[in-house]
């Protein structure tokens, strides 16, 4: 494989691996900016990641392995933790209080 092909393939994999894999929306399907997504493991909890204006965020699959996501936003009911092993992208719907 040529160097250009390897570079193109590497770039494509990098862009794919960093694309949003979690979306947070309201009951109408509108994106929720600044929702907090906290990755959870059996022994360790990561710092929360905030969603952008599109309601999206990228959560890396780290070690220790992330098992669940706790999603919250002020003014909305916090749902039970979401299984991170679901097919990506994961969409979480938050309901108004």
The string of pLDDT tens digits covering residues 54-97 is 999 999 987 789 999 999 999 999 999 999 999 999 999 999 99
Closest CA to 47 of 62, 32, 33: 62
Report pLDDT for 18: 63
Q: Which helix (H) or strand (E) holds 7?
A: helix 3-17
Domains of the chain: residue spans and CATH? 20-94 (2.60.40.1120)
Return the structure tokens found at 89: 């992208």
Average pLDDT taken over every residue of the chain: 86
């Amino acid at each position: 494989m040529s160097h250009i092909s390897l570079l193109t393939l590497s770039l494509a994999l990098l862009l794919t691996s960093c694309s949003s894999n979690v979306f947070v929306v309201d009951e109408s399907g509108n994106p929720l900016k600044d929702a907090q997504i906290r990755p959870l493991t059996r022994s360790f909890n990561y710092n929360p990641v905030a969603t952008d204006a599109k309601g999206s965020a990228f959560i890396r699959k780290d070690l220790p392995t992330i098992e669940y996501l706790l999603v919250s936003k002020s003014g909305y009911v916090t749902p039970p933790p979401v299984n991170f092993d679901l097919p990506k992208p994961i969409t979480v719907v938050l309901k108004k209080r």
